[in-house]
Amino acid sequence: MRRSAIPVLLLTLLVGCAPHEPSAGDASSTFPSAPQSTPSPSPSPSSPASESYTFRLPLAVYSYSDADYEVIRSAEQVLARDCMRGFGLSYRPARNPAPAEAQDRRYGLTDRASAERYGYRMPPQPETPKAKLTEDQMKVLYGNRSAPAAGVKNSDLRYRGKKVPDEGCLGAAVLGFRKPYEDEAGAEVASRIATASYENSQKVPEVRAVFGKWSSCMKQKGYDYASPLEAMAAPAFVRGKVSAVEKDTAEADVSCKERTRLAEVWFAAESSIQKDMIKAEAEALRRLGELHEKKLRAARKILAGA
């Protein structure tokens, strides 16, 4: 069986330290970029796909939910706004559109409607409106990341004689709020468990057996793949336009997963592995969870006073 890359969602939502800090025009883009950044909304735990698997794994207890991330993002925006006011500038981020329905690909493609429309590709996300910022607002909000500051040394960036944070008001808000709640050791433990449990679950006899059943089902439909990960990673299905062949393959993939209960079997196997690994790292994970709670309480306090 060819080893595939660990799904990004696995290491971001489960570890609870994903880079979900906002930019001015996008409260869910990667920290801290200028407005040209591409939005990447995080999956919603209320959607069937994410709720069924990733967010129900034992390690998910130590993760932030999408709602939690939104509280944190909003608090960081308040801090950025207050920083901007200190320079005599207003700042109101553009409202974020509702993200497209989440797709949890932890155990491969499982959504039939998505397979029919997009094959193995992720559904397109709605375009995020960009905040309308003046040159001065850009300079202070983004600091040395802003276009007007290009070529200016960090120590020389000022606005009306006042030193602008090297990372700008947005970066300073994000980094300053995050720092007290960082737990590199706990995050490393959670990341290691998330990675190891995913890889080890593929070696469990029940999972290998269900992969075989899935493969047989696919052969009956005219497709030759040893595992669903192999099908999803096929070069023709990750580059170029979505073809009719890709859609047909994806639909067959989902159908065979449903027939063999592949995702359910895989989920049960990985859950069992995670429980044992969590017990062995209980203290480190306890601290990680406590810091997550403290960060959320701090974020709610900021919003309450906004």
Q: Are the C-beta atoms of 252 and 225 separated by less than 8 Å? A: no
CA atoms of 265 and 257, how far apart (whole Å): 10
Range of the domain at 237: 8-104+127-304
pLDDT digits (tens, 9 = 90+) for 68-121: 999 999 999 999 999 999 999 999 987 766 555 566 899 999 999 999 999 999
Q: How many structural domains comprise the chain?
A: 1
pLDDT in tens, 279-296: 999 999 999 999 999 999
Question: What letter would DSSP give residue 154?
Answer: G
Say which residue, 42 or 178, is predicted with more confidence.
178
Burial of 251 (0-12, 13-18, 19+ CB in 10 A): middle
CA atoms within 13 A on the CB side of 238: 7
Query: What does the buried/exposed string (b/e) look like for 122-143 if buried means 16 or more CB atoms within 10 Å of the residue's CB?
Result: eeeeeebebbebeebbbbbbbb
Q: In 3D, which of 187, 162, 165, 164 has the Cα closest to residue 176? A: 165
pLDDT at residue number 26: 40
Taking the mean position of all CA atoms in its chain, how far away is CA 261? 26
- Report how far residue 270's alpha carbon sits from residue 59's, in angstroms, rounded to the nearest whole number: 10
Least confident of 29-33, 245-249, 250-254: 29-33
Cα–Cα distance for residue pair 221/223, rounded to 1 Å: 6
Asked whether residue 115 is assigned to any structural domain, the reply reads: no
Note the pLDDT of residue 41. Answer: 33
Residue 121 belongs to a domain: no
pLDDT, average across residues 267-271: 98
The reply to whether 17 falls in a domain is yes
For residue 259, the one-letter residue type is R
Residue 160 Rama label (left phi>0; alpha psi -120 to 50; beta): left
Structure-block tokens of residue 270? 């990985």
For position 128, what pLDDT does the model report?
Answer: 73
pLDDT the model gives residue 143:
93
Dihedral class, residue 10 (left if φ above 0, else alpha if ψ from -120 to 50, else beta): alpha
Please, is 235 exposed, middle or buried when counting C-beta atoms within 10 Å of its C-beta (0-12, 13-18, 19+)? exposed
pLDDT at 130 over 80: no
Please check the confidence at residue 210 and state whether its pLDDT lies above 80: yes
Quote the pLDDT of residue 28: 34
Mean of the pLDDT values across residues 41-59? 59
Integer Cα distance of 303 and 306 in angstroms:
5
Assess if residue 159 is contained within a domain.
Answer: yes
Please indicate, yes or no, if residue 1 is contained in any of the structural domains: no
Cα 18 to its chain centre, rounded Å, is: 6
Examine residue 111 and state whether it is found in any structural domain, yes or no.
no
Establish if 114 belongs to a structural domain.
no
pLDDT of residue 93: 82
Q: Out of 4-8, 129-133, 223-227, 248-252, which region has the weakest mean confidence (pLDDT)?
A: 4-8
What percentage of the chain exceeds 70 in pLDDT? 78
Q: Is 256 within a domain?
A: yes
- Per-residue pLDDT band at 231 (split at 50, 70, 90): very high
Which residue type, as a one-letter code, is found at position 121? R
What integer pLDDT is reported at residue 154 of this predicted model? 54
